[in-house]
Every structure is written in structure tokens, then in C-alpha cells.
Structure 1
């Protein structure tokens, strides 16, 4: 393993001469808010390295400089968590990037295909998973553990070349642009505490309840970051929902809640919750958050959504693109209810050309589904 800044700088200089490099990280985050980076694996067509970010005195500046080098494509599989770590530690987003999981969906390898499944399909190589649950923070790591970690980037080279070739052959390279733009956006990783409530499932709808959720979730987000502990260790989601419904304005009321431990209402955290609730309820109603209500689905819309699901499956199979990357169930529900006014991904760009326009024809009677030779097919009238 690379354990010194000088060795890291030398390796990154060599890697930077390649058109692309493959990257993976190993980390722990079960007991922390911020993931603890434990290992960095990188490979170019002619070099493979493992970096120990826990080595005493090592400076990761050369690695971050490589991540910022726009002349080198950074290849990840399921990139979001790796990029989140790089963003948190280096305050930068790698650019440009190529996510093989997204590319695999566009190339018809299925929905959210795992790395080992993709390697199996592309290279017919079976990856030994016995080291998957390694505690990567422990030292020393065995040769078997290091071999497993390195395999996450060595096989990825061939996977990338195969997917890149297929995308270019099928004229689908631009299809990845939208997803890569999301992965390269700072907003994807730099969530402001005041927006943390939007990650929660919206079980409640009233403006006052939403205001309380927003303020309490923001407090929890700041507390979790400051203490570097998981959000659930500060306050569970169920407690936020109950606080929003019951809206306790003092310690006595907070202490009566089912999700609050006995005596917790008298703690500093309890006092902060009460303050957040009262601040939320003091907002003018016009400043309270609202959840966008979609157009009410007409009678029979449930059956329409089922037909759209069949059409989506047919489109996915015909073009060799994972259904998940074309549209999701919420997209279909909104198309059934709102038609051409549905502002969803399936109604924009290549997704509209592939599926959205056909979906509109289906719900307007311009396309029918029929059963022929034990198969379903779409027929335009």
C-alpha cells in the first residue's frame, strides 16, 4: 500500500498520463455521520495502486489534484458514495466522471446491476466476496483483503471499455449526460440543513406539520454533523413525525410523546426541540412549506398506469435499456393523470423520444396493446 505523500504523488503523476482511471474507496460509516475513508484503490490501463489514507502523516492533496484533472475520465461503479467522500474531504467533485452502473442500465444490463454481476456478465469472472464485510479501518490488512479491494478497480477497466464501446456503437453516449450532471453537482452532496426535511418521506401534509418537520429536521442535521453521529442516533424519523403531529410547546408536552425516552425532554436536546417547534409554529402561514400536490388522477387511472407499465416493459426490452432509467412508477402515475403537462424525466430528452411520446399516444387512444403469438406488442393506429 502507498503510505507516504511522496509515493502518492509519484503514483498520481503516472495515473494522470492516462485517458481514464478507475476508482473505488472502502469506508466505514455505521457509527458516524461522515464516512471514514479507509482505503483508496485506483487503476489505469498499466498501473494499479492502493492508498492508505489512514497512514500517519500522509497528505491526500495529490489524489485530490488528480480528481480535479479534467483531462482524465474518472470511472466509478455506483459513484455517489465515493464522490460524497471526496467532496467532504477535498471540497471538490471529480470531473469528468463515468458511472458504470448507470451506463450498464442504458446498455440493457438490468436495473441497478451490482459490480460483481457486471463483471460476471462482461468478463465471465467470479469475484470472491468473502472479504466484503472487512473492517477496513483495521491494520494490517491481509493479502486476500488487499486483492479483493484491488479487484474493484482492475476488472472495472474492462467493464468501462466494453460499456463505452457499446454506448458509442448504439449512439447513446449522450444519454448518460443528465445522470452524470446530477452526480457532478455540488447540490447533490452539499445539502443545507434547512433542506434536510426533504429527504424524509412526506407522511404529513398540513403546512404547520411540515414547518415543524423542517425545523426539527434542520436541528437534527446540524446536531448529527457537529457530533459526527448518524441522524438516527440524534433523533429517529418516527419521533420527528410524532413531534410534527403533536407539536409540543413545552417540556411536559414533549415528555408525553411515545417516541421520546423518559427524561429526555429535560435535556438540552429536548429544549432545542421545543424551541424548534415554537419557531416553526410562529411562522406566518404564507412562509410555511407546502408539498406540491399533483393533479388528481381521473377515475380509471390505476388501470392506465398498469398499461403504461406494460408499455414501459416493452420499450425496455425492445431498446435494451433498463426500465428504471427510463421512468419510475411516479412518472407513470403523473403521465396518466397530467398527460403532456407531466414534468417528469420520462417526458424530456431521449426518454421522451424513446417512451414519453408513445406513452402519451397510449393514454390518448393512439396506441393499443395486443396479444400476438404469446407476446404483447404495441400498435399505433
Structure 2
């Protein structure tokens, strides 16, 4: 079933049955692009719970109830996989992750207007609201931003709010693509979209999750226990579908790695671990993971993370920051997209495997950074702006 607006009014259609969705996706597959967004819940689960999908073309706007009884999203999967239709998102990562989990593939081709806006000089991580105001002369009502999208029925206000996230995106997309093509930056955006199209971007490796905890220890045996405990937590959180922090908090995980319990009685001594947990399926599997880590030879334990030392001149890092600001201003590109603070430190220290020295970033900033380090150029002031000038 679909509820259509009065003739002549551009209002969203609510799609609640698979036949209506199949017909919609069939029409959208004749378009050159379609704007896409999702509403989901994740507060109580590890995996995002897809609730609503919003789709728009030039001629129609639809809100798909992904949780409607009997809903089959296969036609949506076919649309997202159609190489002839560009899928346009804003801040795409979470939406793409949902579709990867649901359909086993990343939508293709994909276009993220947040990234494109950074390339076009709209600043770091510009919001959809900001772009709607700047490029579509529209104001976004965020009153339903924290709605419970799993509750049914969806209210008219929720439907209108959800639809707004794809309605104005059409004008934003066109304005950005025209601007970037005019400025010769289309290739820059295409390079940035490559990371979004890589499924590995959305699949965290359980074996590297311990690194997120940033342990301050040179004890490789402890690090081995922490790696095992963190990998167990990631897999167990996926299995029982609850957020990792609800399963076992970070501080508890560090304590478990330090004490290396061998029995439920020892495990329950850790803060936040109940008797039921320690003796249940989760506790048993955690103890088994710790036992495997305990048996590892020294050669199989994690290497001690390299400590950051005074490898780069603070003055040189400061100079590179000024150069970064100058180049981003001159080229109208968000500074964060060119290089992070950590990458500037690596550049100053002489490392070459940094994004700023590859692709379009090298053209805009990397070559100038290397020239500054080599003394071939200097920084000067021209009126109110910093400029790069030949040295000597």
C-alpha cells in the first residue's frame, strides 16, 4: 500500500508493502541518480536496526517503512546495486554500513555530499542543515532527530522530517557537482569516494580492537590477554547483538586482562561482572579466550606500541600547520581533508606514507610541504593572507 499526496503537491509517499516498493524501485532505476537516507535505532543493539529508508528522484519522494509486515527489501537492494544509478548520501558511512549488512554489498556508485562539500571548501564535516541553507535555500526542522523510529505507526511529522533529508539533497548534489566540475575537482571527489566503496571500511577487525583502548603497558603478556579479551568482546557483542560497552565496559576489560582470571570465581571479582555472567555462556567463552592467550608463545604476542617521542621539530610542525591553512584557503578546501595533525607530525618527521603525499592532496598541499621542508619555498604575508614564495 502507498499513501499518495494530493495532485500537484510534492509530499512524500509512504511505502508499506513490497509491491509498491518494487514499483518505486523500478521507476528509480531509470534515473541517473537517487538521493538516499535511512533512519535506524542502535542504542540497545550492536547491529543497527533499519527502520525507514528515504528515496528521492526529481519527480518523487518516498519514505519506505522497512519494518512494515511482509516488507521485502530485495528491490531496494537491486536499485542500490545498479551501476547506472548514482546513489547520493550525506555523511554516508552509517547508511552504507546498514546496506552492506542487509544486502552484502556496498551501494554503487556512491556519492557523499559531505565529502564533496569539504572538497568544495565548505569546511570540515559540514552539516546537512548547513548545506541545505547554503545551496538549497532551505531550513531543516530537526525536531524529530531523536525519534523512536521503531515505533509504529509513523506520524505525519516523522514522515515529513524523514523525507526532508532526501528532498533538499537533490539540489545540494546538483550544485556541488556543477561547482566541482567547473573548478576541475571531480577527480578529487572520485578519489575520496573510493574509501567509502571499500567494504573493509565498515568491518572492524576483532583482533585489532584492543588498540582502541590505548593501553599504557610494555608487558607483552598483558597485551596478549587484552587482545584476546577485546576480540572476544567484539565477537560476543555481535553474537548477542548488544553494544560492546553494555556487554563489558572498557575499564573492566583492562582489569580482566591485567588479572587474567582462570575460573568463574576469579572472573566475578572484576568490576561489573556478575555471578550469572561469569558462569554463563559468555563468561565461559571469555575464560576460554583468555586460556588460549595464556598459552601463546612469546613470539605470538602483540608488539609493544611505539611511543610517540620528540621525533619532529615542534617549530616545523607549526610551520606546516600555517602552510596547511594557507593552501586550504587558497584552494578552498577543508584543511582536515588535506591533512590531520598526526599526518603533519609524520611529515615533519620525514615519513612518506601519509595521504597528504598521494593523489590530489599532493598537488594541493604535499608538494608544497616537501618544498618548505627542503627550503625551496618560504612563507610570506601578502596583505592579509599568507602566501608561498620561492626561497632565496
TM-score bucket (shorter structure): over 0.9
Distance 1:10 1:198, change over 3 A: farther
1:25-47 per-position Cα deviation (integer Å, ceiling 9, x unaligned): 00001001111111110001112
Distance 1:213 1:273, change over 3 A: same
Distance 2:223 2:176 in 1: 44
Aligned residue for 1:358? Answer: 368
2:329 to 291, 297, 317: 317
1:93-132 per-position Cα deviation (integer Å, ceiling 9, x unaligned): 1000000000000000010011111111112221111121
Q: Give the paired residue count.
A: 377
1:13-32 matched pairs, under 5 angstroms: 13-32=26-45
Q: What SS class does the counterpart of residue 15 from structure 2 fall into?
A: coil
How far is 1:309 from its partner? 1.2
Distance 1:296 1:175, change over 3 A: same
1:160-204 per-position Cα deviation (integer Å, ceiling 9, x unaligned): 001111111111111123331211112122334334335444544
Query: TM-score, normalising length from structure 1?
Result: 0.92
1:287-320 per-position Cα deviation (integer Å, ceiling 9, x unaligned): 222366388543x622221221111111111100
Aligned residue for 1:348? Answer: 358
Distance 2:374 2:357 in 1: 15
Asked if structure 1 preserves the Cα contact closer than 8 Å seen for 2:267 and 2:273, the reply is no
Distance 1:128 1:262 in 2: 44
Aligned residue for 2:61? Answer: 48
1:239-285 per-position Cα deviation (integer Å, ceiling 9, x unaligned): 2223334434445554444x344646743334433332232232222
Distance 2:300 2:196 in 1: 31
Gap regions ≥5 residues in structure 1: none
1:159 to 172, 176, 199: 172
Pairwise CA RMSD of aligned residues? 2.1
Asked if structure 2 preserves the Cα contact closer than 8 Å seen for 1:80 and 1:183, the reply is yes
Q: What SS class does the counterpart of residue 67 from structure 2 fall into?
A: coil
Distance 2:308 2:371 in 1: 19
Distance 2:389 2:190 in 1: 31
Aligned residue for 1:334? Answer: 346
Asked if structure 2 preserves the Cα contact closer than 8 Å seen for 1:74 and 1:95, the reply is yes
Bigger CA drift: 193-202 or 122-131? 193-202
Distance 2:96 2:304 in 1: 30
Gap regions ≥5 residues in structure 2: 1-13
Asked if structure 2 preserves the Cα contact closer than 8 Å seen for 1:15 and 1:47, the reply is no
1:120-149 per-position Cα deviation (integer Å, ceiling 9, x unaligned): 111222111112111111122222221111
1:236 aligns with 2:249: yes
